[in-house]
Structure 1
Amino acid sequence: MADTAGTFTDLEIRIFQKQEQGYPVEITLGGQQEFPRGFLPAEVLPWSPGGDVVADGSKLFEMLFKDGTLRGAWAEARGRAPQRRLRFRIDPQAAELHALPWELLLENQALLAAQADTPFSRYLPIALPWSGAVEQRPIKLLVAISDPDDLKEKYDLAQADVALERKALEEAFAHVDQKSLEVTFMEAPITLERIEEELRKGYHIFHYLGHGAYNSKRQQAALYLQDAAGHAKRALDDEIVSMVARQGVRPHLIFLAACQSAVRSSADAFVGLGPKLVSAGVPAVIAMQDFVTVDTARKFSSAFYQRLVEHGQVDRAGNEARSSLLTAGRPDASVPVAFLRLKSAQLWGNEVDARGEVLGSKNPKIFWTGLIRMLQQGKCTPLIGPRVCGRWIPSRNEIAERWAIEHGYPFGDKVNLARVAQYMASSQGEDFPRGELMDTTLKEMLRRLPEELRPAKQASSLTELVNAVGFQTLVADDPNEVHRVLAALNLPLYLTTNFVSFMTESLQALQRKPTRELCRWNERLDGLPSIFEERPDYRPTPEEPLVYHFFGTDDEPDSVVLTEDNYFDWLVKVSAEPERVPPVIQAAMTNTQLMFLGYSMHDIEFRVIMRGLIATRGQRRNFKHVAVQLDVDDVQVENVGSVQTFLQQYFQDAEINVYWGSMEQFISELKEQWENASR
């Protein structure tokens, strides 16, 4: 790529739940500098457009920066960062503000969302994994034009002119290099089941064109799809989101556009559905927030896809497409909305983008050769972190935010699960948050399961539910599922800080006989049976591997380390009584290459393991090789040295390799390298 996302400085405007003074607003530059908080006046709602784009855009800008503190922060941030990636982050508790046309923001007669130096998006920081920037060409795009034959009769909606809509899209795609973009049009009927069947073929983009509806009281969106006979069948947003969430490989982009005969409710539906699709793991959603003419839709689609294929940054492509509409004199240039969950907005890239980077290494092949050799010899021990289970259970951040709202958590760090759980424990008892965790994750996994996979008998734990469904069934459509790939490595030992049984279930699916053990970090666990007591000479093997949980398991809730006090107690116990960690585990952490997967440097699990098992015994250990996978958003390129220094203080003279990329990128490369070496 000629251009990279690193050209732009991140500028985030975050709006919080309404208070007495209005909506709190915070501006952050470069992910570090926070300006003083200001307030957006509550009277910004209800929004009453005047019909003049310039006047409406100026009015919205003046309302946003009416507070002098915010106006000063914006001026300073703009001066410090001439090229800025503007992320508009609206908290879920202020979701009503998504109804405002933020893409209209006008400063000095210039539309912010159309400027080349200000890529603009609505940002939803969902802590779910994704498959990384796509290296593959052509990029595969699936188009579905839904035109039920009884729309007029059943819902008093006009029929779409499918031939006209298809022709308009074909003209839009005609200007895009055909070697870079492969377009497939679905044939009728456009049912939800057939869409799911098509998406399983690995499309990178899904472009929907048709009618929608939105119920403002229920805050529920629906799309007018078809049944098998071609008649209208409403697909509710929860059904659509569940279908998307259970895809092993989700589309990188979903584009929601109303047909030219659509009414206002369709636009409301698309804007309402956009954030929910992002929450389900779709990296980017483009939605039309108002009616657009077929000419505008064609011009926007053409410019958008042409630029997106070129550089892969969806917010930049959106700005550039809007700019082309303004140049053509189109008054509805602000109608398209970009919802993103990726800070970089990078959907496509070259091989380097798709494969991640080994920090501090001039030759990544050496890293992979060494790692594969250690794996083949059984001298590598994976340590699995919290960022690998996002498909079926909510992330720690999601759980924390949900609990913070439900239990009135009064502090600002509402995504810090350990602190939110500590707050709950202080008022309702130590065991209460553990019970809530088991209940929350079990219910959410059930919700995400396709209806046909939900067992008739109610499960009492996640482990019981996974057993009932079958882990092979859960991951059948995802060859790169983390536990599935790790199980195929034929290792004797797997370490994890997660409480779920996914690693054990994955090994059983390969006809291995794994043993599941947990750390006895408190006295209530001392009486539990242990294989190390039953078989004092026990040593894990590839045929009978051991899965060891440092922070507890779901089928022993008392063992789960959740609150801040739990982590402190764990540290104290393990440091004072090192025998609580079996010698087999201690030996593996000393004598094998450690491979950390699914952690952020800021995760409390990562820091506690570093402090409790690494630093306290550093003088007695002789670490040789350590591999650490860190998410792209966790470290910037210019901070590579500080990352190495941070890790070196724990591992001393060990050779430390940091893989800078997503969990999915790392696993995809690991699987590829392993299979190549096994041929």
Structure 2
Amino acid sequence: MNGGKVNWTFWVDQIREGMCTPLIADAVSRDFVFGDRDIVGDWASAINYPMSNRANLAHVAHYLCILENDELAAKRSYLRHLVQSARQTTGPGSPIGPLKPPPGAAPGEGNSFSQVAAQLGLANFTKQPDNPFFILANLPIVVYLTTGYHQLLEQALESVGRAPVSDYYRWNDDLDQQAKEEQIAYTHQPTVEQPLVYHLHGIDTKPESLVLTEDNYLEFYERASEDINRQDGFPVPVRNALTKNSIMLLGYDLQSWAFRVVFRGPIRSLFTLRRPLSLAIQMEPGQSNGITDMEQFRAYVQNYFGEYRFNLYWGSAAGFTSELWKQWEASSGNA
């Protein structure tokens, strides 16, 4: 369902002119691989989470972190849960068998969720009308920003012949030991052929980099709010993508930690009236979210984003990208 008016010509032109920055939520990857399955709720059950907010990943992770007094163990537990869930989910024509280890890893060890999903055929990047990764990979975008932990987007880009470069934001001192000039996002000049995929909330091949618990989100917000005002706090391509381009928010829940710390941190801090119009794709929440008056909620969301020059599209990320792809192909004479 789409309850918002989108100027498709504007967005097609912004993409064609290199003036569009997608910012992609982690939920897009989970939904792409697992569909409607409640993966976070399943993890909550597996670790005997005792509270009712079982869909809140930050709360569940924070609980396990406190219980085990080990933040890294909680992050590894979540990543193992994703891998195990992927192994239990059979893709069409993809029998579950032994996995090929990544280079340098022992058999059965070191496979990230992204690698497992690809090897099991769960991450299908062939042309499909509702495949957001296929569509994003085929658009001439040079900087992709994501709060997702996984590398499905990189795999999709590679599947269409592009050579993405991945990096992640160092949101605490332990992660920020490497000199800026040694961090690839600070030296790489993104192009259509070699786009940059920048993970704001960490990457699953480095579990310690994940922004997962409530405390992680607070630490990220504090660090990002400082770095955004420092000349070298973020790589130049990332800063330019946030300040000069139209931002396309894909898959975010307004009430989630991931949305709040990014929108109220880097995005809002860099807001100027000169920045082009941006767009938030907002899924209407169900009754389980505790919203009793949907009309009032929609008005609230509209006002919230409108202050920062964001239009709204009411619907799913897959629904939005599907329509965007139709408009893109029509404008290119491929319809």
TM-score exceeds 0.5: yes
Which of 42, 45, 51 aligns to 1:402? It is 42
Unaligned runs of 5+ in 2: 101-107
Q: Greater RCO between the two (CA within 8 Å, min separation 6)?
A: 2
1:606 corresponding residue in structure 2: 259
Residue identity in the other structure for 1:452: P
Aligned to 1:670: 324
Correspondence for 1:412:
52
Q: What does 1:352-367 correspond to in 2, within 5 Å?
A: 353=1, 356-358=2-4, 361=5, 364=6, 367=7
Hey, what does 2:282 align to over in structure 1?
630
Amino acid at match of 1:642: Y
Displacement of 1:600:
1.5
Q: Secondary structure at the match of 2:312?
A: strand
Aligned to 2:314: 660
Q: Which has the higher strand share?
A: 1
Q: Determine whether 1:462 maps to 2:113.
A: yes
Matched, 1:433 2:77: no
Which residue of 123, 128, 131 corresponds with 1:481? 131
The question of 1:647 aligning with 2:305 is answered yes
Deviation at 1:641?
Answer: 3.0
Is residue 392–residue 444 contact of structure 1 (8 Å, CA) maintained in 2? no
Query: CA shift at 1:530, angstroms?
Result: 6.9
- The 5-angstrom pairing of residues 343-358 of structure 1 reads 353=1, 356-358=2-4
The amino acid across from 1:559 in the alignment is S
Residue of structure 1 equivalent to 2:243 = 590
C-alpha separation in 2, matches of 1:521 and 1:602: 22
Rate the CA distance shift 1:393–1:437 in 2: closer, same or farther, 3 A: farther
Deviation at 1:485, TM superposition (A): 0.4
Change (3 A) 1:483 1:591: same
- Paired amino acid for 1:641: A
Distance 1:435 1:574, change over 3 A: same
Tell me the residue number matched to 1:183.
Answer: none
CA 1:519/1:535 → structure 2, altered by over 3 Å: closer, same or farther?
A: closer
Give the 3 Å change call, closer, same or farther, for CA 419–537 of structure 1 in structure 2. closer
Distance in structure 1 (CA, Å) of the matches to 2:208 and 2:144: 22
Preserved CA contact (<8 Å) 1:455 1:468: no
Cα drift, residue 438 of structure 1:
1.0
Change (3 A) 1:484 1:530: farther
CA deviations on 1:237-287 (whole Å, 9 max, x unpaired) are xxxxxxxxxxxxxxxxxxxxxxxxxxxxxxxxxxxxxxxxxxxxxxxxxxx
Map Cα deviations across residues 15-39 of structure 1 (whole Å, 9 max, x no partner). xxxxxxxxxxxxxxxxxxxxxxxxx
**Structure 1 pair 530–462 and aligned structure 2 pair: CA distance change class (3 A):** farther
For 1:606 and 1:575, the matched residues in 2 are separated by 14
1:295-374 to 2 correspondences below 5 Å: 353=1, 356-358=2-4, 361=5, 364=6, 367-374=7-14
In terms of Rg, which structure is larger?
1
Cα distance in 2, alignment partners of residues 483 and 442 from structure 1 = 20
> 1:577 is matched with which residue: 212, 223, 227?
227
Structure 2 match to 1:523: 173
* Distance in 2 separating the partners of 1:565 and 1:394: 28
Shift of 1:523: 2.0
Letter in 1 for 2:116: L
Q: Name the counterpart of 2:88.
A: 447
Matched to 1:381, the amino acid is T
- 2:33 matched residue in structure 1: 392
- Residue 525 of structure 1 deviates from its aligned partner by 1.8
Q: TM-score, normalized by length of structure 2?
A: 0.84
- Stretches of structure 1 that go unaligned for 5 or more consecutive residues are 1-352
Letter paired with 1:368: W
Q: Are the equivalent residues in 2 in contact too, given 1:531–1:538 (CA < 8 A)?
A: no
Identity, % of aligned positions: 29
Match of 1:424 among 60, 64, 83: 64
User: Residue 583 and residue 627 in structure 1: after superposition, are their counterparts in 2 closer, same or farther (change >3 A)?
Assistant: same
Counterpart mapping for 1:198-347 below 5 A = none
Q: Deviation at 1:533?
A: 4.4
Matched residue, 1:42: none
The residue type paired with residue 552 of structure 1 is: G
Aligned residue for 1:130?
Answer: none
SS at match of 1:474: coil
RMSD: 2.7
Call closer, same or farther: CA 1:511–1:529 in 2, change over 3 Å: farther
